[in-house]
Structure formats: structure tokens, C-alpha cells
């Protein structure tokens, strides 16, 4: 059976050039990067070269990059670390309702400690309103955290404007850029970002590695105790091969960003046109223009997203229901709910996320199967429609 992978926002394959760069770090340069001997020095050299690449990719300084186990750890560290380090100034935090669970759950955990959190609404496109943000800022607000790109619908936030607003009020600004890196150009200085979370496996790097950018001068308490690694801010032996892979992956992603995004845009636009023409009662969720090319969230009426994704999987096509972290749990997408996507569409919404290796043949196969399975599920649905589709 043909297999098509359209879940690149969940994870990507490790590309060959990344893998080639990583292999020597497993068995040739295998020292502990924290050791003082030559084996250790060789390892720390590789780690620092990777750190340079990550810093360069986002316009930061090398000593502002801290490697983590991934995006979730980076988000936890940023939210809790900034809150704990700045609690003498206040205990109020502002985030949006459509943040990744690693941000939302960190906030819940802080609320139990006595912090107050304001969850900002988004509009039907998934955008945070600057006016509402300004309205919610208080004297004791110490942190604003708004994701750069939403993982479910791909909407790009007005990060620079939000960061400016934060700074005008003396507030630290953090952004979860896990889905943004490699999809949009990021310059932390130009965008006035203070703290930023990143992950390697969304950009053809290995799983289990990410990074937190912390601008020099920003106070952020460490999350993991018990080691002097990462300048004493993140204990634990550095996963050298993974860090090396991340360095290579982000270097390539940023270098090829325009070519890849153009290719994905062409494919995505063709895909949307075809679905529109061939399947009635559907809608695209998210912003029409202010979005990354790789993420496409589509709602189909009269079907259930899990059933649809499973039916596609049985045809060899991998897509996602909401975010991958949520699949298996019968709950409505908090993102689509916040965007007030009508129930009949959010119930049947699935995410297609395109990678740089996708072909037209894969897309045509997916389209044919999609038309077939939507029709099969609608035939046995308890909800039917009569009349012409809009």
C-alpha cells in the first residue's frame, strides 16, 4: 500500500545530511561534554559549534542559547523560570488560550503556587487582539507568552507588536517558536523577543532536543537542578549527537527557508483548491493569509475527525487530529474552541502538515482517498444534509 506522510507538524524524518553530521558524535567523539579531558573537550567543541549555528539562525548570541530535551521542556523552563525569578516584581502572567499544553499546563501549575494568569481570547482567525492584550496588562504583570505560530492551524501572531507592547510596560516577552523555526524568518533582536522556545524534530532534526533562547540580562531561574551544564542553568549530561543534529537541522532549515516554503505553498494551494472543488461542506480553519505554508487545518461536516484520520490511516495516509499530543483523548481542540469554529466543523477537523519532500503524486493520491473516505463516513453518519452545499 502506498504511504503518504502529512503530519510534519508532529514530527519530521531526520534528514540524511543531519544524520551524517550526528553519527560521529555517537562513536567517535563520545566524551562527556562536561569532562575536562580531551575527549570531553572534543565533545564540548561539537556542542558549541551547534550552539553557534542555532544562535546564528535566529540572530542571537551563542551564550544566549541553552539546549534542552525539546520544546516542552523549553516552554516549561521559560514560563516557570521567568515567573520564579521575577516574582518579587509581581505574580501576573498573560498567555493566549491557544498556546501549546506545555505552556498552559505550566501556567496551571503556577496558579497553584499563587500566581495569577490571564488567558487571552483569539479571534476567528486565531489572532490575539493587541487591544485586549493592552487592556489585560497590570502593574504586577511580569510575563507575556504568545506562541509565534500555532501548531494546529498555523496562524502567525503579530509577535513584534506584542513584544513591543510588553516592553513598553516593562514586561518580559516569551514566544513558543517550535512551529515557527524553519517556516518563517526569525530574528530575535528585530522581533524584540526576550525568551524563545525551539525544537529540532520539527525541522528534520532528531527528537529529544530543543533549545531555549534567553536574552542576556533576562532573569530566568533554572528548571533542572544537579549539574553545571549549560552554564549552570540546565543540569544533565548534554545529548551531544542530538545537539549536533539540531545545529545542522536549523542551519539547513534557515538556509533553504524561501525555496521550501514556496514549494510547500504551491502544493498546499493546489490541495485546498481540489478539496474545495471535490468535497462539499468543508472549511479551512485559521487565517487565510497570515499563516505558515506547511499547516492546513480543514473541517468536514457530518464526520468525526478521529474516524476520518483513522480511515485515512487505513489507506496509508498519516494526518493529525488536533495536535499529536492530544490524540487519544476525547476532548475538543482548545484551539478551535477558542477560535469559535462552529461545532459541526470542529468535530470533523483534521490537520494536514506538509513537508519539503512531498510530491504531487502523493497529494493526488491523498485527494482521491479523502474524497472516498469522507463520502463513506457521511453515508453512515447520524447527521445528514439536504440541499446544495454552500
Partner 1 sequence: MYSEKVLEIFKNPPHAGGLQASSGVGKYVDEVSGDQIKIYIKTKEDVIVDSHFKTLGSVASIVCSSVLCSNLIGLTIKEAEDLDESIILNNIDLPADKEYVAIFVLNALKLAIENYYKEKEKEEKEGKSKTAKAKSVKKQVSKEAKEYAEEVKEKLEEEEDNKQVSKTKKAFEEMFSAWED
Instruction: List residues with catalytic annotation.
Output: 325
Regarding 347 and contact with partner 1 (CB under 8 A), the answer is yes
Looking at beta carbons only, is 86 or 305 nearer to partner 1? 305
**159-172: string of b/e by CB count within 10 Å (b at 16+)?**
beebbebbeeeebb
- Output the smallest distance, CB 383 to partner 1, in A: 5
| Grid cell for residue 139 | 502593574
Separation between Cα atoms, residue 269 and residue 281, nearest integer Å: 18
Candidate residues 306, 316, 357, 367; the one interacting with partner 1 per rule CB under 8 A: 306
Residue placing its CB nearer to partner 1 in the complex, 249 or 321? 321
Could you tell me which of 256, 284, 287, 356 has the C-alpha nearest to residue 9?
356
Across 173-208, b (16+ Cβ under 10 Å) vs e yields bbbbbbbbbbbbbbebeebbbbbbbbbbbbbbbbbb
Alpha-carbon distance 162 to 144, whole Å?
9
Torsion region of 32: left, alpha or beta (phi above 0 gives left; psi -120 to 50 gives alpha): beta
Q: How far is the CB of 119 from partner 1 (least distance, A)?
A: 21
CB-nearer residue toward partner 1: 232 or 342: 342
Residue placing its CB nearer to partner 1 in the complex, 206 or 322:
322
Please, what is the minimum distance in Å from the beta carbon of residue 390 to partner 1?
19
CA dihedral 20, 251, 353, 262 (to 10 degrees): -120
Least separation in angstroms between residue 372's CB and partner 1 is 12
Q: 277 or 329: whose CB is closer to partner 1?
A: 329
Q: What residues between 17 and 56 interact with partner 1 by CB under 8 A?
A: none
385 in contact with partner 1 (CB under 8 A): no
Start-to-end Cα distance in the chain: 35
**By rule CB under 8 A, what string of x and - marks binding of each residue 266-305 to partner 1?**
------------------------------------xxx-
Residue reference for cell 524553519: 182
Beta carbon nearer to partner 1, 184 or 303: 303
Least separation in angstroms between CB 382 and partner 1: 4
Quote the least distance from Cβ 97 to partner 1, whole Å: 19
At CA 253, angle to CA 249 and CA 259, rounded to 5?
A: 150
Q: Which positions from 307 to 346 touch partner 1 by CB under 8 A, shown as an x/- string? A: x--xx--x-------------xxx-x----------x---
Of the candidate spans 137-145, 170-178, 186-194, 377-385, the one that interacts with partner 1 by CB under 8 A turns out to be: 377-385
Determine the Cα–Cα distance for residues 310 and 246; give it in Å rounded to an integer.
31
Residues 6+ away with beta carbon under 8 Å from 94: 117, 118, 120, 133, 136, 137, 141, 143, 144, 145
Number of residues that bind partner 1 (CB under 8 A): 19
Grouping H, G, I as helix, E, B as strand and the rest as coil, residue 207 is: coil
CA distance 281 to 374: 11
**Helices 71-85 and 101-112 meet at what angle, rounded to 10?**
30
Please say which residue, 201 or 347, places its beta carbon nearer to partner 1: 347
Estimate to the nearest angstrom the gap between the alpha carbon of 70 and the chain centroid: 11
Task: For the CB of residue 87, give the shortest distance to partner 1 in the complex, in Å.
Answer: 37
Burial of 357 (0-12, 13-18, 19+ CB in 10 A): middle
Please state, as a whole number, how many other Cβ atoms lie within 10 Å of the Cβ of residue 128: 25
Q: Does 1 bind partner 1 (CB under 8 A)?
A: no
Q: Which residues bind partner 1 (CB under 8 A)?
A: 302-304, 306-307, 310-311, 314, 328-330, 332, 343, 347, 379-383
Amino acid at each position: 500500500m502506498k504511504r503518504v506522510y502529512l503530519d510534519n507538524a508532529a514530527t519530521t524524518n531526520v534528514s540524511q545530511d543531519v544524520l551524517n553530521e550526528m553519527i560521529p558524535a555517537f562513536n567517535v567523539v563520545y566524551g562527556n561534554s562536561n569532562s575536562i579531558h580531551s575527549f570531553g573537550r572534543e565533545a564540548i567543541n561539537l556542542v558549541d559549534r551547534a550552539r553557534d549555528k542555532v544562535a546564528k539562525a535566529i540572530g542571537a548570541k551563542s551564550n544566549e542559547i541553552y539546549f534542552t530535551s525539546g520544546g516542552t521542556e523549553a516552554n516549561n523552563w521559560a514560563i516557570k523560570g521567568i515567573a520564579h525569578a521575577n516574582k518579587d516584581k509581581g505574580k501576573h502572567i498573560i498567555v493566549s488560550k491557544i498556546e501549546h499544553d506545555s505552556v498552559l499546563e505550566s501556567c496551571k501549575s503556577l496558579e497553584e503556587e499563587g500566581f495569577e494568569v490571564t488567558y487571552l481570547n483569539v479571534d476567528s482567525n486565531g489572532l490575539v487582539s493587541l487591544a485586549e492584550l493592552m487592556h489585560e496588562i497590570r502593574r504586577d504583570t511580569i510575563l507575556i507568552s504568545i506562541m509565534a505560530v500555532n501548531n494546529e492551524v498555523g496562524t502567525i501572531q503579530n509577535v513584534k507588536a506584542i513584544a513591543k507592547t510588553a516592553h513598553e510596560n516593562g514586561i518580559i516577552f516569551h514566544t513558543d517558536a517550535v512551529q515557527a523555526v524553519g517556516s518563517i524568518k526569525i530574528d530575535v533582536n528585530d522581533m524584540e523577543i526576550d525568551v524563545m522556545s525551539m525544537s529540532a524534530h520539527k525541522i528534520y532534526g532528531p527528537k529529544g532536543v530543543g533549545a531555549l533562547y534567553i536574552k542576556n540580562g533576562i532573569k530566568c531561574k533554572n528548571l533542572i537542578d544537579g549539574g553545571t551544564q549549560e552554564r549552570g542553568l540546565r543540569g544533565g549530561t548534554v545529548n551531544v549527537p542530538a545537539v549536533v543534529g539540531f545545529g545542522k537541522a536549523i542551519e539547513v532549515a534557515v538556509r533553504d527557508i524561501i525555496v521550501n516554503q514556496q514549494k510547500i505553498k504551491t502544493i498546499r494551494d493546489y490541495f485546498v483548491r481540489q478539496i474545495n472543488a471535490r468535497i462539499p461542506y468543508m472549511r479551512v480553519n485559521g487565517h487565510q493569509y497570515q499563516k505558515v505554508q506547511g499547516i492546513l487545518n480543514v473541517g468536514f461536516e457530518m464526520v468525526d475527525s478521529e474516524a476520518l484520520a483513522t480511515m485515512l490511516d487505513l489507506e496509508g495516509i498519516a494526518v493529525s487530529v488536533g495536535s499529536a499530543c492530544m490524540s487519544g483523548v476525547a476532548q475538543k481542540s482548545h484551539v478551535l474552541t477558542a477560535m469559535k469554529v462552529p461545532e459541526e466543523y470542529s468535530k470533523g477537523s483534521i490537520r494536514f502538515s506538509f513537508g519539503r519532500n512531498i510530491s504531487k503524486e502523493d497529494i493526488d493520491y491523498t485527494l482521491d482517498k479523502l474524497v472516498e473516505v469522507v463520502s463513506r463516513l457521511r453515508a453512515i453518519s447520524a447527521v445528514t444534509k439536504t440541499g446544495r452545499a454552500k
